[in-house]
Structure 1
Amino acid sequence: MKNIQLPYLDDFLLNLQTNNRSEETIYNYERDLKVFENFLNEINVDFEKIDKKTILNYKAYLTSRDRKTPKEQAGKKKLASFSINRMLSAFRSYLKFLINMDYKIPIPPNAIELVKTEKKHPRVGEFEEIIKLIESPSQFEKNKIVALRNRTMLEVLFSTGVRISELLNIKITDIDKTGRIFIKGKGKKERFVYLTPRAQKHIKNYLEVRGKTESPYLFIPYRGRNIHIKDKKISPNYLEEKVKRYRELLGLNIPISAHGIRHAFATYLAESGASPVAIQILLGHESLDTTTR
């Protein structure tokens, strides 16, 4: 059997790299496109002969346990709809790249429709548990300054939807008096996000007890190896571990992480009627494909 490969895949990945996409993002695109490549080999269809029926069969392939992973292993469980949409979106982006490079494509990107996502219930219960999680540092941290700092971090995460890395890189000078925060995001993209009055209140209270330091960063450590570093700041691992611990202490039913709070922000906006474009801008996504994944 011939070895069918996606043409110019290495060029596509190189393009992602030159556009300052993270190593993780590039790896995810490559992994998802390799799944599609495996599918083409299984059905013995060349890239040039892909049509709408091929895409329909690919969707069915992704929902089955017979699909092959990038490492040629059988899928262990059925993929969720958001995972299927992520893979379809990756192929869309690949096709758009080919168009931009004036290469021939067998099917237009807009012909690849995403699948309907599952509705999760109950949303109200989930929202209440997220609020409990955000408020939990006040309950579980013995050190009052640490409690206020961690509570403020979670308040800012939920009120703005910033990435963890963006949150921890916020400098005091990035915040203006109107409640806007200047964010330098992935790929050196810049944007403003907006604090809720509740988050503004917690930042104000935290700054009053934060203490004087040479570090320009808003959130600083009070213990550990980084405490004597001039530009000290909180590490992503610290925040992830804290959220995990708070969730366990609260006995929450939702498996939410620090990064999951960002998704909760996007879900809350969507269910409140915000447009996908507005959510895309606030999250700092480069395209709507990423927002709708």
Structure 2
Amino acid sequence: MKSIREHIQDFLEYCEVEKGLSNLTIKNYDYYLKRFKDWIEKNVAKNLNPEKLTADHVWKYRVFLARYQNLQTKKPLKRITQSYFLVALRAFLRYLAKRDVKSVAVDKIDLPKKEARPLKFLLADQVEKLLDTPQTDSLYGLRDKVILETLFSTGLRVAELAALNCDQINFNTREIGVIGKGGKPRVVFLSDGAVRWLDTYLKKRQDKEKALFINYRGKIPTEGFRRLTPRSIERIIKKYVHQAGIPVEATPHTLRHSFATDLLMGGADLRSVQELLGHTSISTTQIYTHVTNKQLKEVYQAFHSGNKEK
């Protein structure tokens, strides 16, 4: 009879072969389930079979996650991080049930209530200031300008942006075909500015790398070596936000938020914005309506004649 450790390995192979999940998703499952397996082996038993896993074990694991503190920072795990551990565990238990392996039922594990996180986005003048910050006389400065323009033009996730190849850009239709979360394809569109700067950037490149955004410093380039990572792009955004003097801790996702907010403030309907962002559920997109509704209320209070002193 296989242990939890062995079943986890089978589950990861199932995710790769049958489910066709991305390498990043499989890597995350591996990380979170390894922590669960380590906790089980330390606190319950070595080589425990799934059949002997109980709801009480899972509850004690949840208590462990809730009380865990980082050894260096002494900070606890955020609720969203606790949820990541439990989402992975639920996916694993769902797999066991599919394979007719008895264990704890998935519906016994509820996810922690989500923390309300403020939605950060840039105002139009802040976006303009940020886009104008890179010095485009060098190739890497030009690259950074294109990164900023493309993020705000398309609303891409940073991982989607980092994965772009040069041949994905269709200058005739001004579109980019991308593969988003869950392997779902969608089309995003390029603004006049993004098209112009992308064209300039690609014409000035001398390399034959297929990656759209590459690193110009460091080691000799090899196939696939020079592609910028999502983390590198995050650092680039942070640098220019600081240089522009924008009082917001902006990230690539802040530009994604700014893209969506800009569309809704301009009159776009929620379903269209959902499609452009690649959200599976409309409820995910609805977070932006809270922002735009607040903005509309401020406009109403400032300009509606009924609010003016008689």
Give the CA deviation at 1:219.
Answer: 4.2
Q: Does 1:117 align with 2:114?
A: yes
Q: Does 1:206 align with 2:208?
A: no
Give the CA deviation at 1:164.
Answer: 3.5
8 A contact 2:215–2:228 mirrored in 1: no
Alpha carbons of 1:6 and 1:281: their partners in 2 closer, same or farther (altered >3 Å)?
A: farther
8 A contact 2:83–2:111 mirrored in 1: yes
Corresponding residue for 1:290? none
Give the CA deviation at 1:223.
Answer: 5.7
Corresponding residue for 1:36? 36
> How many residues were matched structurally?
266
Rounded to whole Å, the distance in 2 between the matches of 1:184 and 1:221 is 19
Aligned AA (2:30): E
Give the CA deviation at 1:135.
Answer: 4.7
Rounded to whole Å, the distance in 2 between the matches of 1:23 and 1:220 is 20
Give the CA deviation at 1:95.
Answer: 1.6
Corresponding residue for 1:162? 157
Give the CA deviation at 1:43.
Answer: 5.2
Corresponding residue for 1:8? 7
Give the CA deviation at 1:147.
Answer: 5.5
Bigger radius of gyration: 2
TM-score by length of 2: 0.61
Alpha carbons of 1:57 and 1:256: their partners in 2 closer, same or farther (altered >3 Å)?
A: farther
What does 1:21-60 correspond to in 2, within 5 Å?
Answer: 21=21, 24-41=24-41, 44=44, 47-52=50-55, 54-60=57-63
Rounded to whole Å, the distance in 1 between the matches of 2:55 and 2:181 is 33
Classify the secondary structure of the residue corresponding to 2:68: coil
8 A contact 2:90–2:109 mirrored in 1: yes
Give the CA deviation at 1:83.
Answer: 0.4
Q: Cα RMSD between the aligned structures?
A: 4.9
- For structure 1, which segment, 211-220 or 224-233, has the greater mean C-alpha deviation from structure 2 after superposition? 224-233
Corresponding residue for 1:65? 68
Alpha carbons of 1:174 and 1:39: their partners in 2 closer, same or farther (altered >3 Å)?
A: same
Corresponding residue for 2:77? 79
Corresponding residue for 2:278? 282
**Unaligned segments of structure 2, at least 5 residues:** 282-310
Corresponding residue for 1:247? 241
Rounded to whole Å, the distance in 2 between the matches of 1:241 and 1:112 is 37
Q: Does 1:175 align with 2:170?
A: yes
8 A contact 2:54–2:103 mirrored in 1: no
What does 1:78-227 correspond to in 2, within 5 Å?
Answer: 78-107=76-105, 109-121=106-118, 123=119, 126-128=120-122, 132=126, 135-141=129-135, 143=137, 149-158=143-152, 159-164=154-159, 166-172=161-167, 174-175=169-170, 180-184=175-179, 189=183, 191-195=185-189, 199-210=190-201, 211=203, 219=212
What fraction of aligned residue pairs are identical, expressed as a percent?
18
**Unaligned segments of structure 1, at least 5 residues:** 286-293
